[in-house]
Amino acid sequence: MSELENAPERALDWHRAGRGAVLATVVETWGSAPRRVGAQMVVSGDGELQGSVSGGCVEGAVMIEAMEALDEGEARLLEFGVSDGDAFAVGLACGGTIRILVEPVGKVFPEAMLADLVAARAARQPIAYVVDPDRGARALVREGFETRFRMDRSGMEEDGRFVAIHNPPLRLIVVGAVHIAQALVPMARIAGYDPVIVDPRSAFGSDARFPGERLVDDWPDAALETIGLDTRTALVLLTHDPKLDDPALHLALRSEVFYIGALGSTRTHAKRVERLTEAGFSASEIGRIHGPVGLDIGAASPAEIALSVLAQMTQVLRKGA
């Protein structure tokens, strides 16, 4: 998890260390803003900060407000409006307005609630932090915001409550440590995925071919049982070998992974559909598979195919299947 994403964990650590901690969260934006709603920054009582809510002097102004809020034991709702002429200086590329909720840990944001939030994030359990800035009511909820969870979209509700979606980090499981995987894995990491490469063939799944990446040299079905499959996981099958791909597909089609892609021609996919049908899978279950994998962009090289796969994963994640 990057420093821009672990504000709750850092806030809890700083608070428990006696340094004091304040969470600052972007709750609304209008116009242009470089950080999306839900972006967070944490400020310690001695002036250290981590994360980002915008850029430039907005962070400095938020830090001052946060430290004052910590001293006074109160939440604050800040608003920064910037004209186009001054926008670049404060990190709003073309001008706009941002609203930021500042919450001291302990005095406003209960330590126990923050600890529960951090625990859910560590367990890869989707959870939402819901706060009413006017009334001060706060709660952690796991249901009731299905669209927000699927779209990974924090935001204000019509009733004035702010819903901060805390989804598990995106994960990509690649079955088949082939040349396309060598291009796809670094691209996916840049896009925010935590990649795992599964291949029982040691000549393919080697540190030399995938330096610094997590490699699992086990049969795909056993590997997927160990890794786990959830709503924030994408599975891409690249081996062309039914002995490797099919066992993984059997598990994936009965799971909640948001994306399943399988390499192969239209003819190869037709044979795959036949095998899965014979294995008892329904047409709707089989229809979850994107095969041939990737968007049709005329990709030819391994890197272009990898790009088409990542683009299709993004499309499904953000727009639905």
SS (HEC) of 258-291: CEEEECCCHHHHHHHHHHHHHCCCCHHHHCCEEC
Query: What token pair was written down for 172?
Result: 């990509």
pLDDT digits (tens, 9 = 90+) for 238-295: 998 999 999 999 999 999 999 999 999 999 999 999 999 999 999 999 999 999 999 9
Percent pLDDT > 90 in the chain is 75
Query: What token pair was written down for 58?
Result: 């907005």
pLDDT at residue 3 above 60?
no
pLDDT at residue 89 above 70?
no
Domain ranges for the chain, please list them: 7-166, 171-319
Please state, in angstroms and as integers, the Cα–Cα distance from residue 274 to each residue in 205, 241, 268, 271, following that order.
29, 15, 10, 5
pLDDT band with cut points at 50, 70 and 90 for residue 309: very high
Residues in the chain: 321
Q: Once rounded to an integer, what is the mean pLDDT over residues 68-76? A: 95
Q: Which CATH superfamily is domain 171-319 in?
A: NAD(P)-binding Rossmann-like Domain (3.40.50.720)
Please state, in angstroms and as integers, the Cα–Cα distance from residue 70 to each residue in 23, 64, 98, 134, following that order.
10, 10, 21, 18
Q: Once rounded to an integer, what is the mean pLDDT over residues 70-82? A: 89
DSSP for 158-219, please give it.
Answer: TTS-EEEEEPPPPEEEEES-SHHHHHHHHHHHHTT-EEEEE-S-TTTS-TTTSTTSEEE-S-
- Give the residue with greater pLDDT, 37 vs 88: 37
Q: Once rounded to an integer, what is the mean pLDDT over residues 92-104? A: 79
Q: Spell out the residues 6+ positions from residue 285 whose beta carbon is closer than 8 angstroms to its own.
A: 253, 254, 276
Strands 40-44 and 21-31: antiparallel
Q: Once rounded to an integer, what is the mean pLDDT over residues 126-138? A: 94
pLDDT digits (tens, 9 = 90+) for 27-44: 998 776 667 899 999 999
pLDDT band with cut points at 50, 70 and 90 for residue 95: low
H/E stretch holding 76 reads strand 76-82
Q: Once rounded to an integer, what is the mean pLDDT over residues 47-65? A: 84
